[in-house]
Structure formats: structure tokens, C-alpha cells
Structure 1
Amino acid sequence: MINSTFTPELPVELLTVSEARAGVSELGEVLRACVEDGAGVGFVLPFTQAAAEAFWASRLDGIERGERHLLVVRMEGRIVGTVMLELAQQDNGRHRAEVAKLLMHPTARRKGLARKLLGALDGLALSLSRTLLVLDTVTGDTAEGLYPQCGYIRVGVIPAYATSAHGSLDATTVFYKQL
């Protein structure tokens, strides 16, 4: 069981491909718990641990090639939060990246860890000369309120964008941030 106290001192870690490979099970646990909790992150129920681990395993090649970077935060030694920086590969997009899979295990929410991950992601993006970040999130989700607090600008809403974990069509809200 995760301790419920506020823990701002927890460090954000940038995982190497070998660390990500070793953490696939824990990463899968976070993803599965989020999907089971209704997160609109690309998957529908039923969603198994094996499917969650397969998703993370499919990200490893991109990490190894340097096209994607994975940040995590741990509590009590276990991964409880993630975010990825997906670098645009086009010649005309070398200044931008997509924020993907900001996930916080339901037992680790409301502790400031998502903000901490996003702050670290900003620093990572700048270190890679990426000055424009883009993302989308389920309209009406709690995360939609988080992004403006972290400096993201709302672009607009796309209706009926993706099937939710429970099978209904959800709108998505698009954001950007200039660093």
C-alpha cells in the first residue's frame, strides 16, 4: 500500500532503455490501474496486465533510438507515475514534441507528482532544443484542469475523438506550451 502523505521531495527519473525494460511490469501496473479507473489513454476495457506490459514493451525501441524519453516518479520504490516526451522526427518539426502518457496510479494522485513530472519534462524538452510541446486529453477529465495550471494553452475541442475505456465516444481537448 502506498503511503498517502504529500511527498514533494520524490525525484523524477529519466529512464534508460534498460531501466524501462526492467520496469515494464511496474509501468504496466500503472497503465492498467489508470485504464481500469477510466483514464482515456488509448485503451478500452477489459484491459489486462499483459496488454499493458505489451504497450510499454512496444515503446522501448523508440527510447533506445532517442525518439522518445520516459520520465517516472516512484513512491516506496515502485513506479507510480509516468510521462513521455515524443520527439517530432520531421525536419521541419525539430523544435517540437508531444507529451504522452501522463499517468498517475490512482493511489498516488493529489500529491503534486503530475506537476512534478510536467516540470521535469519541460527541462528535458529544453535540453533537447524542443521549445513547443503539444498534447491532448479527454475533455472534462481532471487532467484538463491541470494543464493550464502548468502553462499549457487550450487550443480547442475535437468532438467524438476517441472511444473511452468504457466504450463511449469522448471529445478531446488540445493544448500547447511554448518553452
Structure 2
Amino acid sequence: MTPSTAAPTVPGLDFTLDPELTDRLRAEIVTLWTDVSNAGGSVGFVPPVTEQRVLPTAVQQFAHVGGPADPDADRLLIARAGGELVGVLFFESMRFDLMDHWRLLKRVMVCPTMQGRGYGAALLAEAERIARSWGLAGLRLTVRGGMGLERFYGRCGYQEVGRVPGAIRVGPGDERDDITFWLELREG
């Protein structure tokens, strides 16, 4: 698999790695997470969902976020357009020496009203750029089947490397595959 090479540029889209996780930013992320979930995004919930329902999971995710000084901490990448939060993802540390050469991307989210503008691809390209700068061997992510995400992640250079049939139950009689994707960052 050839790693992707060119990061798409989206005018007016600004990225911040390790932003200060203020109360305001936490609230913005919870709102985005809720909006993405209610639009059908596969980020841990099934619509309809409220911010109150998302908050405990968000608090758990935030508890692991740190910065470059803590090698075991998760790292946060945000995207803003015109000052508005439009994208988020977390680099999750595996907190295990034998897996320290790669990261799991969690909660990859783009504002539903901003989709179709290239923000998702740009967010993933920025994550790839950062991961390469850290010297990582790869990025892994998982998705809920039946959402059409396989095509999107494939276009972004990710290769499907595993699938567990029916592992995600979104409702009675509605079980989806848990699909694992990998982006190889090593050259050659």
C-alpha cells in the first residue's frame, strides 16, 4: 500500500494540535459530537442523542488528553473555519510499549453542515502529516459498517485490514460490522 502523499488544502481551514482544553472547547466538542451523532455519524452513539448523553463519554475521552510532554497521553487535533469548530479527532495512545509505533484515531468528526467541502479529507491528511512528523509507522481507525465510510477512508489512503461481522448492535435486529482500517506510514 502506498501512503498518501499530498495533503489536501482547504482555504480558511486552520488546524491546532494540543489546543488548551478549556471549558469552552469542551462544550464545542460535545456539541459537535452530538450534531455528528444525530446526523447519523458513527462516533459511538445512535440518534437521537442529547449533549447530556454524550457528555460522560466525552469527559472520559478528555481525561486522557495531554500534550507532547506525556508520551502516554492522547492528543487532540481540531479544525476551525472562520473561528468555528468544524472538525475533531483524537490520537489515542495505546499506552503499551509494543504498540507505541502507531496511534489509533478516535472520534473523527466533521460538522454535518460542513461536510462535502473536503474538511474530512483535510483533517485526515493533517493527522497523517503529524503522525509522520512523530515518526510513527501507521495510523489505525475503526468504523461502523453500513455507513459508506469504506469508500471515504479508502480515498484517504486507508486500507481495510479487518472486519468483525455484526459486532456493533445499533438497534434490535440491526447489527453492523466493526471495520478496522490502517494507513501505512513507513516508506517502501
TM tier relative to shorter chain: 0.7 to 0.9
Counterpart amino acid of residue 131 in structure 2 = A
SS of alignment partner, residue 21 of structure 2: helix
On the 8 A contact 1:27/1:53 being kept in 2, the answer is no
* Map 1:28-47 → 2, pairs under 5 A: 28-47=30-49
Q: How far, CA to CA, are the matches of 1:35 and 1:154 in structure 2?
A: 23
Percent of aligned positions with the same letter in both sequences?
Answer: 23
SS of alignment partner, residue 174 of structure 1: strand
Q: Which of the numbers 12, 15, 21 marks the counterpart of 1:12?
A: 15
Q: Are 2:133 and 1:127 equivalent residues in the alignment?
A: yes
* Map 1:64-143 → 2, pairs under 5 A: 64=66, 65=70, 67-143=73-149
Q: How far, CA to CA, are the matches of 2:169 and 2:146 in structure 1?
A: 14
Cα distance, 1:8 vs. partner? 1.0
Map Cα deviations across residues 53-87 of structure 1 (whole Å, 9 max, x no partner).
Answer: 33322222311255211111123322121111112
RMSD over aligned Cα atoms: 2.0
5+ residue gaps, structure 2: 1-8
On the 8 A contact 2:42/2:144 being kept in 1, the answer is yes
Q: Hey, what does 1:27 align to over in structure 2?
A: 29
Q: How far, CA to CA, are the matches of 1:87 and 1:104 in structure 2?
A: 22
Number of equivalenced pairs: 171
On the 8 A contact 1:21/1:57 being kept in 2, the answer is no
Q: Hey, what does 1:151 align to over in structure 2?
A: 157
Q: How far, CA to CA, are the matches of 1:176 and 1:92 in structure 2?
A: 17
Q: Hey, what does 2:3 align to over in structure 1?
A: none
Q: Are 2:178 and 1:176 equivalent residues in the alignment?
A: no
On the 8 A contact 2:39/2:47 being kept in 1, the answer is no
Q: Which has the higher helix share?
A: 1
On the 8 A contact 2:92/2:105 being kept in 1, the answer is yes
- In 2 relative to 1, CA 20–99 (structure 1 residues): closer, same or farther, beyond 3 Å? farther
Counterpart amino acid of residue 15 in structure 2 = V
Taking structure 2 as the reference length, what is the TM-score of the superposition? 0.81
Map Cα deviations across residues 3-28 of structure 1 (whole Å, 9 max, x no partner).
Answer: xxxx8121112133x33543111111
Q: How far, CA to CA, are the matches of 2:154 and 2:176 in structure 1?
A: 20
5+ residue gaps, structure 1: 1-6
Cα distance, 1:108 vs. partner? 0.7
